[in-house]
Structure 1
Amino acid sequence: MVISATVFQQRRALFLERLGAVAAVIPAAPLVTHHADVEHGFRQHSDFWYLTGFDEPGAVALFLPHRSEHPFVLFVEPKDPSAEVWHGFRWGCEGAVTQFGADLAHPRAELAERLAEYLKGAEGIAFRVGRHPSVEPLVLSAWAAQLDRAPRSGQAALGLVAPCPLLHQLRLRKTEDELERLREAARISAEAHELARQVARPGLNERQVQAAIEQHFLAQGARGPAYGSIVAGGDNACVLHYTSNNAPLRDGDLLLIDAGCSLSDYYNGDITRTFPVGGRFSAEQRALYDLVLAAQQAAIACVQPGADAEQVHAAAVRVLVGGLVELGLLQGEVDGLIEQGAYRHLYMHRTGHWLGLDVHDVGAYRLGEHPVPLEPGMVLTVEPGLYVSDRLPVPDGQPAIDARWKGIGIRIEDDVAVTSSGHEVLTAAALKSAEAMER
């Protein structure tokens, strides 16, 4: 199942309603140069995709609630057989109308001459300044011309505002169609993690495990990895964003894999699992693994309507700190250690993030002084970890780290949807019990 044209139409209707009498200009992503005249693979801007489903570069969408006869206008690259021979199929202006629901469509080259007229009569202009250098001068010029004419015409857009707050509120709360896509991304990602555990063994290179994971993504119809896959053996796992993935796997080390796929319509999975390369935990590895798993289970239990992401994080931190005190890696009272942040040389990141069209998806975590309460349809990762190395100094008053602990990096991450009665772990098919991690 892919997101239907009707769903995009419904999203546009909601967005237009929330705009009131403000016109919005939402550009697509451009092609980005990789080197010389070679571009990176195209990835559509998530806001543009969310509202249009149009997967070509350089387009611009106008949302015009003040023009009821044509509130949705697309500017796209026109059909051009010579260009399509080199770069592939284009829908063109006709396809933008018949396939993507635009009320009107024009060649992208006509944006400069047509934009001012389309924005005329709007009470404001919603446009994200600083992100779209080819479009921004056109928007500012159209707005400036309105302001120049205002003393005579009595009409001008009153201000330039960001569309992000309105649009990202919509994206934060997933519909059932979106949850189905996230379940599919979770399924493929979980299968890849199960496969990786079967493949990994001492003597392989991290990159060979990465290849097995990403081959599964492609074989299952995904676009590929949702982000740079992390395949980190031993001490490499203590580097949070390690992506070199070029070291040999050694017996006695743990292997941390943080990898998820991105579907054809950009919905993502994001899973982390950690397991012993040689099939058995050492005593120290098992003690820390059990602690991280207990912290994750406590944090997931907090995911329910009315709770918030800060409570999820706090639940994980409390379990981790208490366990580290018992293991002798921290000393002091748990509350005081948490207040002082004395654990952060061992656990230095938050416990999760929103998930959706972006891996680190849009949406506020706080509104002023108040955390955003969790609601059904929100999806977040829950990913506590511990990373024991010499990279960060041990805080004053805390015990030096014995060599037997060093080089152990563990993270366990699942994708969790908030439901009306609690939560759903979308990635439950990726096993994580200590027993399942051994062989």
Structure 2
Amino acid sequence: MNENQRPRWAGTRPPRLGEVSTGFQGWIAQGWGTRQVAAPVDQAAARAAAAHRARLSEALPGQTIVLAAGRAPNRNGDADYAFRADSDFVWATSCQTEGAVLLMTPREGGHESVLYIPPPAGPGEKDFYASATHGELWVGPSAGLEAWSAALDLPVRPVAGLTPPAPAENLAPIVSNLRMIKDDWEIAQLREAIDATVGGFAAVAAEIPRASAENLGERWLQGTFDRHARTFGNGPGYATIVGSGPHAPILHWVRCDGPILPGETLLLDMGVEARSLYTADVTRTLPVGGAFTETQRRVHDLVEASHRAGMAQVRPGNHYSDFHYASLEVLAQGLHDWGLLPVSVDEALAPQGQQHRRYIVCGIGHHLGLDVHDCGHSPAEQYVEATMQAGMVMTVEPGLYFHAHDETVPPELRGIGVRIEDDLLITDTAEGHEVLSGALPIDAAGLERWTQEKTQENR
């Protein structure tokens, strides 16, 4: 090879890590058109956030309040998990910007609120091309300070250099308590999430024959719902549970690496998280072939009776534990009638007994909202020891879980898991609640018809 044939890069070295040429810096800063990006918050969401801040201000007079959106945790190497903003921060701002901070400073008559965000990095700034978190070339155009200020009717400033004073003590439980009563906007967000979830159940049911026949398994159905959730919302509100056959009794079977077994039950615990980040949480147990066996139906009927007994206790003024006890009493009686308890029903229901809990070690329900297990920082006296109020949204989710290796139950019950879960809005009506997820049947015959209808639609 002569001198004229040498490649142009011969004799050069690649740029070192972090090294950027002045030529590149100068050229990439030029020639970009201006783009205006609106903040992804509508007026209704902004008004709801302002009302939430007003309630928070009233709860903490004279105290500095600091809420942070947080940052995405590292997944591995230089890859992070997808960012999901802190729920308390979202409740108070309707903003989902990574690294943002809300500072509420006491003043006469309340608080002055200022939102601090990392400004999007545009042309002329190094982070425009160097930041995989805020650089426009990496993440696309984002709303700037002025756009966020206009959308939220708040002062919005750069977060760099912010050194807020010490925040109020015990802030998390106070915000958690305030979040228990949902306003009209929040209820609308939950309705949207639940309606989308019902659609996701239909999408999954339609894929059952293919998942079984082509050996695509539980993961295919999990992926079907997650795709639906991402299309019609922000994504799944929690790890989607798809348990077929002996996996159905495993409470949080998110591994989803088993087959869809003909003739077995299929436990689906799934929820769409709306783009506002409010989530649904719904469970149904479907017969894979469209019809329950006699034994499966017997278990499902008992869980259904427990579910109805629990829901009947969800109303204003009742103790939070009332629906738990009502559901568990039905289950304990049924288990005793089947000869599965070593003691009487009264002995099992006594605090020192609880033998029936072998077959349902989890709770019967919880608050629902921005978190699937909402208001989790509330103290016991405000949560499990409190009374229910209109505006709360609760789940009721009794179940029976007979594990495949549990030798205390007869062979025909082993490997059967059944859970029914609905999302209920507590109301001041005669019924005491509205079943927001009521579009899905809960009785065995209704689920058989529904499953057959949905699986036929995809053939």
Task: Provide the TM-score with structure 2 as the length reference.
Answer: 0.80
| Residue 409 of structure 1: aligned partner | 417
1:235 to 240, 243, 246: 246
Pair 1:342-2:351 in alignment: no
| Residue 380 of structure 1: aligned partner | 394
2:368 to 347, 355, 364: 355
Pair 1:214-2:214 in alignment: no
- Residues 178, 31 of structure 1: alpha-carbon distance in 2 compared, 3 angstrom cutoff: same
**CA distance in 2 between partners of 1:70 and 1:416 (Å):** 34
The one-letter code sitting in structure 2 at the alignment partner of 1:362 is C
| Residue 162 of structure 2: aligned partner | 111
1:63 Cα deviation from its structure 2 partner: 0.6
1:290 Cα deviation from its structure 2 partner: 0.2
The C-alpha deviation readout for 1:267-317, integer Å capped at 9, x for no partner, is: 101111001112221221111100001100000000000112211110000
2:93 to 42, 45, 52: 52
- Residues 322, 217 of structure 1: alpha-carbon distance in 2 compared, 3 angstrom cutoff: same
Indicate the SS of the match to 1:345. Answer: helix
| Residue 313 of structure 2: aligned partner | 302
The one-letter code sitting in structure 2 at the alignment partner of 1:435 is A
**CA distance in 1 between partners of 2:218 and 2:110 (Å):** 57
C-alpha contact (below 8 Å) 1:17/1:65 kept by paired residues: no
Indicate the SS of the match to 1:5. Answer: helix
Pair 1:224-2:235 in alignment: yes
**CA distance in 2 between partners of 1:384 and 1:211 (Å):** 26
1:145-294 equivalent positions in 2, closer than 5 A: 161-201=169-209, 202-203=212-213, 204=215, 205-219=217-231, 221-294=232-305
| Residue 96 of structure 1: aligned partner | 148
Indicate the SS of the match to 1:267. Answer: coil
1:67 Cα deviation from its structure 2 partner: 6.5
| Residue 443 of structure 2: aligned partner | 433
C-alpha contact (below 8 Å) 1:307/1:373 kept by paired residues: yes
C-alpha contact (below 8 Å) 2:72/2:83 kept by paired residues: yes
Structure 2, unmatched stretches of 5+, are 1-40, 123-127, 129-134, 453-459
Stretch of structure 1 that moved more, 363-372 or 382-391: 363-372
Indicate the SS of the match to 1:54. Answer: coil
1:369 Cα deviation from its structure 2 partner: 11
The one-letter code sitting in structure 1 at the alignment partner of 2:381 is L
| Residue 87 of structure 1: aligned partner | 139
The one-letter code sitting in structure 2 at the alignment partner of 1:207 is R
1:49 Cα deviation from its structure 2 partner: 0.7
1:195 Cα deviation from its structure 2 partner: 3.1
C-alpha contact (below 8 Å) 1:8/1:50 kept by paired residues: yes
- Residues 69, 170 of structure 1: alpha-carbon distance in 2 compared, 3 angstrom cutoff: closer
**CA distance in 1 between partners of 2:111 and 2:154 (Å):** 8
C-alpha contact (below 8 Å) 2:250/2:403 kept by paired residues: no
**CA distance in 2 between partners of 1:15 and 1:76 (Å):** 21
The one-letter code sitting in structure 1 at the alignment partner of 2:88 is D
C-alpha contact (below 8 Å) 1:194/1:431 kept by paired residues: no
The one-letter code sitting in structure 2 at the alignment partner of 1:341 is Q
**CA distance in 2 between partners of 1:348 and 1:185 (Å):** 28
The C-alpha deviation readout for 1:323-359, integer Å capped at 9, x for no partner, is: 1111222243211112201112211111001100001
The one-letter code sitting in structure 2 at the alignment partner of 1:215 is R
- Residues 315, 42 of structure 1: alpha-carbon distance in 2 compared, 3 angstrom cutoff: same
**CA distance in 2 between partners of 1:69 and 1:216 (Å):** 43
Indicate the SS of the match to 1:256. Answer: strand
Structure 1, unmatched stretches of 5+, are 120-124, 128-160, 395-399
| Residue 10 of structure 2: aligned partner | none
The one-letter code sitting in structure 2 at the alignment partner of 1:257 is L
**CA distance in 1 between partners of 2:297 and 2:111 (Å):** 62
Pair 1:7-2:48 in alignment: yes
C-alpha contact (below 8 Å) 2:262/2:288 kept by paired residues: yes
Pair 1:332-2:340 in alignment: no
Indicate the SS of the match to 1:238. Answer: coil
- Residues 368, 45 of structure 1: alpha-carbon distance in 2 compared, 3 angstrom cutoff: closer
The one-letter code sitting in structure 2 at the alignment partner of 1:168 is S
- Residues 80, 70 of structure 1: alpha-carbon distance in 2 compared, 3 angstrom cutoff: farther
C-alpha contact (below 8 Å) 2:194/2:436 kept by paired residues: yes
Indicate the SS of the match to 2:424. Answer: strand
**CA distance in 2 between partners of 1:255 and 1:384 (Å):** 16
| Residue 134 of structure 1: aligned partner | none
**CA distance in 2 between partners of 1:215 and 1:61 (Å):** 32
- Residues 94, 368 of structure 1: alpha-carbon distance in 2 compared, 3 angstrom cutoff: closer
- Residues 225, 166 of structure 1: alpha-carbon distance in 2 compared, 3 angstrom cutoff: same
**CA distance in 1 between partners of 2:305 and 2:440 (Å):** 17
Q: State percent identity of aligned pairs.
A: 33
**CA distance in 1 between partners of 2:382 and 2:284 (Å):** 35
C-alpha contact (below 8 Å) 1:191/1:429 kept by paired residues: no
Task: Report how many aligned residue pairs link the two structures.
Answer: 388
Which structure has the larger Rg over C-alpha atoms?
2
**CA distance in 1 between partners of 2:410 and 2:317 (Å):** 42
**CA distance in 2 between partners of 1:275 and 1:76 (Å):** 46
C-alpha contact (below 8 Å) 2:177/2:382 kept by paired residues: no
- Residues 365, 64 of structure 1: alpha-carbon distance in 2 compared, 3 angstrom cutoff: closer
**CA distance in 2 between partners of 1:386 and 1:281 (Å):** 16
C-alpha contact (below 8 Å) 2:74/2:81 kept by paired residues: yes
